Structures are given as structure tokens and as C-alpha cells.
Structure 1
């Protein structure tokens, strides 16, 4: 192999690793934003939290227990890697780590939705409910960032320092301050919202939706503004749950290869994602405890099999949820 071929191969390998470096930066940025909010664990500052009660006329606490236990056991499975503490394990466990991260948070949120009578089995609907709650101010400001709007006219909320994207914006910029972190989060929201629109376009194409037909009565290859407006009007606001869901669907073989080939700190990536699981689960556990009562919640927690737990849920309860009583 000549020198030219070696450089070409090196460039190809570097290009393969870019997507994983981008995701690493994005999730690090999210946790950076959360950590900068001094009130991130003070749920009492949220009017919605103070008014939480059971709204499900057919409420069954057993269903909440099952959902919480599944969430905690999934979180435990995700965190097993910390006990192994092996760089190769962190790298090759991504296949199942991404779905674990998403499902732990999703199940915990669904347990809260169960108390409110809005639980369902449709992920898109659940994510939309979460987004609407973010928009309505039902969550801590630390996690209440989102984007909305039509093509090339997105709005970004919940990012206090973000104003616009600089001309030299890079998704690989080192994060040294809150401004850097919020710029990364805004970029993540932007690319995710655009990807959701592209996915919706493909879905409409498979359905042969006549709203997108050209004069030849074929699905248009050249989309104009009014076409995109139709699509974007069907897309709810884009929030952190969309970001986690996007990561979950990257757990197929081809996408995961870009992560495995990357030159990143896999342990730090694992920790960043784990920290996000921890925080989002804390919020929904706090909401559940408020709805069903601290005593009933503590019983569900204490009855959870100890061999399936790394005590993360107990830690959250002891340090952040019980003091809210």
C-alpha cells in the first residue's frame, strides 16, 4: 500500500468516527447544561409538581410497580459496565447500551403517565406528551430545552445563552462553558428535528400520500416549501426524549460500527449517558412519589430485589426525593 493509499484510508477511518464524536459531544453538553442549574433537584420550585395527584380513574399501583421495577433493572443492566471497568467492554456494549438508556427512562416516564391516566404503548405519542409538558413548564428548567417550527425557521427555547448559530459552528467544538454547551444542544435539536422530518417524508412516500404528488401524479422528487410545511406541522416539538430515541434507533449493526471505530473516551460517553438516565429517572420518580404518596413509593422501592439494583434509585430517593416531603 502506497503513502497515498495510507492517507486515504486514514481519512476514511476518521470520517467514520465523526458521527460518534458528535454524539459524544452532544450528550456531554446536555449533562453540562444540567449540572449548571443549581435548582435541578428542587422540584418544589415547579408549580406543576406541587399540584401533582393521581388523575387516573382506574389507577392500579401494581402497574406502576411493574414499570418502575423494569426501569430500575434496565438501568442496573446499563450500569454493569461500571463494575467491569474495561474500555473494550464500554466500546462493544454500545449495541445494547443505547436501547437500555432509552427504555429505562421511557419506562419510568410511563409509570408517571400511569398515575395521570395518559400511559400508552406508542412511543411517538409518549414522546409528544413529554414535549408538550416541557412546553407547558411542567419540568425543571435544567431539562426544558426544545425546538419547534417549520423548515429553516426553527425556534429554540430553554437555552438562555443561545441566540444563533455562528458561521463557523462545529459539532466537534470543545465545551468549555455553558455557552458552548447550549450551542451544542441547539445543534443536536436542529439535526434531530430535520431527521424527524426526513423520516416522516419517507413514511409518506411509502404510503403514497397524494398530498405530495406532482403533475404526473407521482410522489414529488423535488420538495418545495409547502410540502415541507405539511410535514413539519405534523411534528411535535423536539426535546431531549427525541434525542434519546434517536440514539436508540442507532443501535443497529451499521450505525454502531461508526461508534466502535471512533477514537473517543468510551467510558466518559457511558458515564454521560448514565448521568442523563439518573437525572430523568429522578424527575419522574419524584413526580410518582408526589402522586401516590412518599410511603407507598418507598415500599415499591424497598421491595425491589436487591440483586437487580446498584442502588441508584435508593440514592435518588434518599438524597433528592425524600427531602422534598
Structure 2
């Protein structure tokens, strides 16, 4: 292979690695924002938290137990890589790490929803409930960011230092301060909201939705703002769970190849994503404790094999939640 061919191959490989480098930067930005938030563990500052109680008229604690145990088991499986601590393992475990990260957080959220009588099996609906709660300030400001709005009218909330996108904005910009991190989070929200709209458009196309047919009764190729606004009107707030869900669907073989071939620090990526899961699980576990009481929660916790969650749920409970 000649020099020119080698350079072209290198350029192509770098081009393919861009999406994974972008995701790495985005998730690092989220955990950076959380770590900079001095109130991230001060749940009593949240009026909603102080009023939490069981609202499910058919509440069964065994359902909460099942969901929490599944969440903790999945989180343990995600963190096995830390025990192996091998660069190649971190790289090739991405196939299952992405779904593990999402499902651990999703299951703990659903366990809390069970106490409130709003648990369901539809991911989109659960994520919408989370987004509504974020908008209503039910969650700590550390994860209180979200985006909403119609085409070209997105609004970004919960990012105090974000003042808009600079002309030279890049999703690969190095993060050196909170302003950099919040700009990356806003970028992530923007691209995810647009992706959700494109996915909805494809769904409406398959349904041959009459709102988007042209004069020939064909699904129109060109969309005006009016058509896009119909779609955006059906999309709820875009929050951190939309970002996690977007990563989960990246776990198919074709997409994961772009990650495996990327020039990124896979261990740092794993750590950043793990820190986000740890924080989301902390919040929902603390909310569950507030709802069902510390004694009942501790019983659920102590009946679970301690060697599987001594660094996760047990640590969160005894070092943070019990002291709130």
C-alpha cells in the first residue's frame, strides 16, 4: 500500500471515529456538570422530594424489589470491566455496556414510578414522564437540564452558563470548564431532539400519515417548517434519559463498529457513563426510600447479595441516602 492509500485509509478511519468521539465528549460533559453541582446530594432543597409518599393504590413492595434487584444486577454487570481493567475489554464490551447502562437507570426509575402508580412497559412513555418531572423541577438541578420547542425554536433549560451556540461550535471541543460542559450538553440535547424528530418522520411515513401527503397523495419529500412543527409538537421534553436511550440503540453491530475503531480513551468513557448511572440510581433510590421508608428499603437492600452491590447501591445508601 502506497503513502497516498495509507493517508486515505487513515482519513477514512478518523472520519468513522468522529461519532464515537462526539458521544464520549457529550457524556463526559454530563458527568462534569454533575460533579460541579454543589447541591447534587441536597435533596431536601427540592420541595417535591419532601412530599414524596406512596401514591399507588395497588402498591406491592415485591414489584419494587424485583425492579431494584434487576437494576443492581445490571449495574454490577456493567462494572465488571473495572475489575478486569483491561483496555481491550473496555473496547469490546461496548456491545453490551450501552444497554446495561441504560437499563440499570431505567429499572431504578421504573421502581420509583411503581411507588407512584405510573410504572409502565413503554420506554417512550417512561422517558416522557421523566422529562415532565424534570420540567416541573422534581429532580436535582444536576440533572435538571432539558430542551423543548418547535423547529429552529429550541429552548435550553437548566444550563445556567449556556448563552447560545457560537459560530465555531464543535462537539469535539475540549472541556476545560463548566461553560464548555454545558455547551456540549446543549449540543447533545439539540442533536438528540432533531434525531427524535427524524425518527418520528419515518414512523409517520410508514403509516402514510395524511397530514404529510402531497397533492398526489404521496408522502412529501420536502418538509416545510409547518410540517416539522406538527412533528415537534408530538415530541416531549428532551432530557438526559433521551440521551441514554439514544446511546442504547447505538448498541447494534454496525453502529458499535464506529466506537470500537475510534481513537478514544475507552476506560474514561466507561467511567463517565458509570458515574452518570451511579448518580441517576442514587436519585431514584433516595426517592424510593422517601416513599416506602428506610426500614423497608434497607430490607430489600440487605436481602440482595452484598458482594454484587457493595460498591454501588450499598455505598449509595450508607454513605449518602441514609444521611439525607
**TM-score, normalized by length of structure 1?**
0.99
| Counterpart residue number, 2:35 | 35
Deviation of residue 6 (structure 1)? 1.4
Structure 2 gap segments, 5+ residues each: none
Tell me the distance in 1 between the aligned counterparts of 2:225 and 2:24: 33
Tell me the distance in 1 between the aligned counterparts of 2:180 and 2:274: 21
Contact 1:148 1:155 in 2 (8 A): yes
Contact 1:76 1:310 in 2 (8 A): no
Tell me the distance in 2 between the aligned counterparts of 1:34 and 1:147: 17
Give the secondary structure class of the aligned counterpart of 1:208: coil
Q: Deviations over 1:115-165 (max 9, x none)?
A: 000000000000000000000000000100000001111000000000110
Deviation of residue 308 (structure 1)? 3.2
Aligned positions of 1:207-226 closer than 5 A: 207-226=207-226
2:138 matches 1:130: no
Aligned positions of 1:268-287 closer than 5 A: 268-287=268-287
Contact 2:306 2:314 in 1 (8 A): no
Deviation of residue 4 (structure 1)? 1.7
2:77 matches 1:49: no
| Counterpart residue number, 1:288 | 288
| Counterpart residue number, 1:238 | 238
Q: Deviations over 1:12-46 (max 9, x none)?
A: 00001100100000000000000011110111110
Deviation of residue 319 (structure 1)? 1.2
Tell me the distance in 2 between the aligned counterparts of 1:52 and 1:3: 65
Give the secondary structure class of the aligned counterpart of 1:156: strand
Contact 1:64 1:112 in 2 (8 A): yes
Give the secondary structure class of the aligned counterpart of 2:203: helix
How many residues align structurally? 324
**TM-score, normalized by length of structure 2?**
0.99
Q: Deviations over 1:61-116 (max 9, x none)?
A: 00000000000000000000000000000000000000000000000000000000
Give the secondary structure class of the aligned counterpart of 1:101: helix
| Counterpart residue number, 1:256 | 256
Runs of 4+ in 1 over 6 A off after TM superposition: none
